[in-house]
Amino acid sequence: MPTDLTQLSAHTLLGLYRSRKVSPVDVTRAVLARIDSLQPHYNAYRAVDAEFALVQARASETRWQRQKPLGGLDGIPVAFKDLLNVKGFPTRKGSLATPDTPAGEDSPAAARLRESGAVILGKTQTAEFGWKGLTETKLAGITPNAWDRQYASGGSSGGAAVAAALGLGPLQVGTDGGGSIRQPAAVNGVFGFKPTYGRVAGYPAAHNGSLFHIGPLTRNVTDAALLLNVIAAPDVRDWSSLPKDIGDWTAGLDNGIKGLRIAYSRTLGYLKVDAGIAAVVDRAAARLADLGAIVEAVDPGFENPAPILDALAAERAVRLRRDIGAAGLALVDPAIRESVEKAEQHSLTDVVAAHQARAALGASLRRFHQRYDLLVTPVTSQPVPRLGTAPAAPFLSPFNLTQQPAAAVPAGIDSNGLPVALHIVGPQFADLRVLRAARALERHQAFPILHLSALL
């Protein structure tokens, strides 16, 4: 039996379950013990129900003994960012303005994983209402970087990224409304994938509407694909969810990228990037060429879409105020309150114009991808900052506006000794192509894994 079950991938664990060399109970106990050990130092989880997790693990163990698993992730521990409903757990959204009462029903992702027999561990920390790229809240405190606790973990899926990096559960479900999967994945050295909008159904509707994507944070690409096998499914509660048109997301992962036309944009044409980070990403782009892709240095040709996002923030602000009221707004971080007040100054005319500009941006990227199969950029523009400051990741939010699939793929180390990632973006619905490119890089250079002896 392997000595440290928390270091094994979900893919490996499933093989061990089939051969009866390892039990879901063994794995769940190992993960819970690691959470007990590291949670006081890293604060990755907001809530864990160890007793409930072991009940699920024992039921899974019985099913595997009979060789009758419920689904493709039976017995695999999983956790959910605390913006997503999981029945029996409060959804606090990182805020004192939310009730501490258990959710009465699962979000679609949680429902599909529960049906699959996965072992639900609990909820990971999030920035308050997912508003910032920093997982530090009045409700739950600070979640530091998995590699160095003096540095920021990013956000808003910071707890999920740290948990994945530390081996606190092989599968983590996060959300991304402007980079909230990819940015923390990048600075914690794990793989983060934002699927095409609607690929993973969402319910209840998010404050930032159709910018909001749900996806995996894992330590390798194959595990992310295995998670998508379960959660990439429609749900009647989400009218924008896509049909389940891919049966097995792991099929074709190792087919390589030979012949793919890849555009490499170091700055998107309007950003400034730290020289050290640029060098890491340059090398990653060169590796794609070594692997057979046709890589061309070219910008996608759009202007900074920050004005679009600023105007659309008015919709998010209205939804937040509606949900928590004046009393709730008095409890949130002052920066969020100021942001809400600023956003609500936008007129209806501003919002309509922003939607028109968003549509034009989406059309321009569709034209761009008629020539290029993928676009690659950095994820972050500066080295990871210390606690209290959000990592700068200005490359990400444009592709929430356009609803494209995108991934943060570990690529190297910054001047602080912390992870740097390559950003891989595909055209709408070409999720598997993005995963394939990420897997090609992973096979060329394995992603880093933190070991317990190096942490404390």
* 93 catalytically annotated: no
The helix/strand/coil state of 101 is coil
Cis upstream peptide for 156 (omega within 30°): yes
> Distance between CA 236 and CA 112 in Å, rounded?
13
> Distance between CA 185 and CA 107 in Å, rounded?
22
Q: What are the tokens at 411?
A: 């690529």
> Distance between CA 177 and CA 214 in Å, rounded?
9
DSSP 200: S
> Distance between CA 98 and CA 80 in Å, rounded?
17
> Distance between CA 322 and CA 129 in Å, rounded?
14
Q: What's the chain's length in residues? A: 456
Pick the catalytic residue from 9, 81, 210, 381.
81
* 210 catalytically annotated: no
Q: What are the tokens at 111?
A: 């429902």
CA 56 to each of CA 23, 51, 116: distance values in angstroms, whole numbers, following the listed order: 12, 9, 11
> Distance between CA 102 and CA 85 in Å, rounded?
9
DSSP 342: H
Cis upstream peptide for 204 (omega within 30°): yes
- How many other C-beta atoms lie within 10 A of the C-beta of residue 395? 28
> Distance between CA 125 and CA 180 in Å, rounded?
12
333 in Cβ contact with 138 (< 8 Å): yes
DSSP string, 138-178: TTTEE-B-SS-TTBB--SSSHHHHHHHHHTS-SEEEEEESS
Q: In 19-155, which residue ranges form alpha helices assigned H by DSSP? A: 24-42, 50-65, 108-116
DSSP 143: -
* 397 catalytically annotated: no
Pick the catalytic residue from 9, 156, 210, 241.
156
Q: What are the tokens at 445?
A: 């250079």
384 in Cβ contact with 391 (< 8 Å): yes
Q: What are the tokens at 173?
A: 């479900």
Pick the catalytic residue from 95, 180, 210, 265.
180
Q: At what angle do helices 431-444 and 275-290 cross, to 10 degrees?
A: 100
> Distance between CA 387 and CA 256 in Å, rounded?
38
CA 367 to each of CA 371, 373, 409: distance values in angstroms, whole numbers, following the listed order: 7, 11, 25
Which residues are part of the catalytic machinery?
81, 156, 180
